Amino acid sequence: MTDRVLLTGISGFLGGHVALQLLNSGYTVRGSVRNLQRADKVRETLRRHGADVSRLEFVALDLMRDAGWDEAMEGVRYLQHTASPFLIQIPKDKMELIGPAVEGTERALNAANKAGIERIVLTSSMAAIAYGHDKSRNTPFTAKDWTDLNGRAVNFYQESKTLAEKRAWEIMDAAGRHDALAVINPSAIFGPLLDDDPGTSAVIVQRLLDGSIPAAPRIPMTIIDVRDIAAAHVAAMSAPDAGGKRFPMGERTVFFLEAAKILRERYPERRIPSFGMPDWAVRLYALFDRDMRDNMGELGYIKRLDSSDAIALLGRPLRTAPEALLATADSLISQRLV
């Protein structure tokens, strides 16, 4: 198989795993980075994890610049658009997230449509599905659901993912190519790191392992393994019936205390919290901790995703939430990040 895939965001946590699975499946991968100086590190990382990097090439692209997009599509059959801004802390100016997310989606999809790319796989998020809804809801969120931007406690990141995905469907519908797009909507992504960059979700595990979270807040996390998300991206690229669909992906929702218990059983010598933090204390702690403050809207609110379509796409069950959490922890320790 020599089909060429343009993969944006190859240097990211998810992008690296998508690249690894594409290369292992026999595809030629053209990975985009903002600065080609990062190419050697990405190439060496993928080689170290067993990929045949002779089928790996690089191109410089910026979500906020027009230059290079048309040229990057030359000779490409499929587009994997995983690149998107994700800041560890929510910025004061929401356009720091919304601008690159929406404009990057526009540039990637318009160039892909111009080039006649056969299938586009877009990384969206649970953030575009499950937020702004009434807390009384107890049924799983499905591909038919959208985040209500006028609803309660919607932050800038959730707004950016929702607007970017809606813009993607608008572009494809206007081009008459609705079924040429498939969208993956993962929950919080955990799993093995490929290098020494902890990314975003892994920072939660890092803080549980290093003792910087003294007690577990009653905040739930819907968890999915990065290896399953990457596999879904690859499968959605070529599966005939994947076009025109959204694929929510979340294996299980766990509270911080349950996640801490899973980690403590593997690493009993570490100062991992063993008791919960009362909600009033969480609110007080949030006054001094920006990460906690950005997530206060989720306090005590369990959200579940209907992942049945993704399971059918993969043809197998999803890796479990404990497996994903422990893989994250093991790789953080092996990379000496805790």
CATH of the domain at 108: 3.40.50.720
Q: What is the pLDDT of residue 147?
A: 97
Instruction: Choose the weakest-confidence range: 33-37, 55-59, 275-279.
Output: 275-279
Are residues 111 and 72 in contact, defined by beta-carbon separation less than 8 angstroms?
Answer: yes
Q: What is the pLDDT of residue 213?
A: 85
Question: 211: closest CA among 274, 159, 266, 158?
Answer: 274
Q: What is the pLDDT of residue 129?
A: 98
In the predicted structure, residue 91 carries a pLDDT above the cut 60: no
> Nearest 5°: CA angle at 84, between 18 and 234?
20
In the predicted structure, residue 285 carries a pLDDT above the cut 80: no
- pLDDT interval class at 31 (50, 70, 90): very high
Q: What is the pLDDT of residue 293?
A: 62
In the predicted structure, residue 282 carries a pLDDT above the cut 80: no
In the predicted structure, residue 294 carries a pLDDT above the cut 70: no
Domain housing 54: 4-334
Are residues 259 and 333 in contact, defined by beta-carbon separation less than 8 angstroms?
Answer: no
The identity of residue 113, as a single letter, is: N
* Mean predicted confidence (pLDDT) in 40-66: 96
In the predicted structure, residue 235 carries a pLDDT above the cut 80: yes
Q: How do residues 139-197 score in pLDDT, each as one tens digit?
A: 999 999 999 999 988 888 899 999 999 999 999 999 999 999 999 999 999 999 999 98
Q: How many structural domains is the chain composed of?
A: 1
- pLDDT interval class at 280 (50, 70, 90): confident
Q: What is the DSSP annotation of 7-40?
A: EETTTSHHHHHHHHHHHHTT-EEEEEESSGGGHH
Q: Which two tokens stand for residue 56?
A: 């790996």
Question: 152: closest CA among 307, 305, 303, 304?
Answer: 303
In the predicted structure, residue 87 carries a pLDDT above the cut 60: no
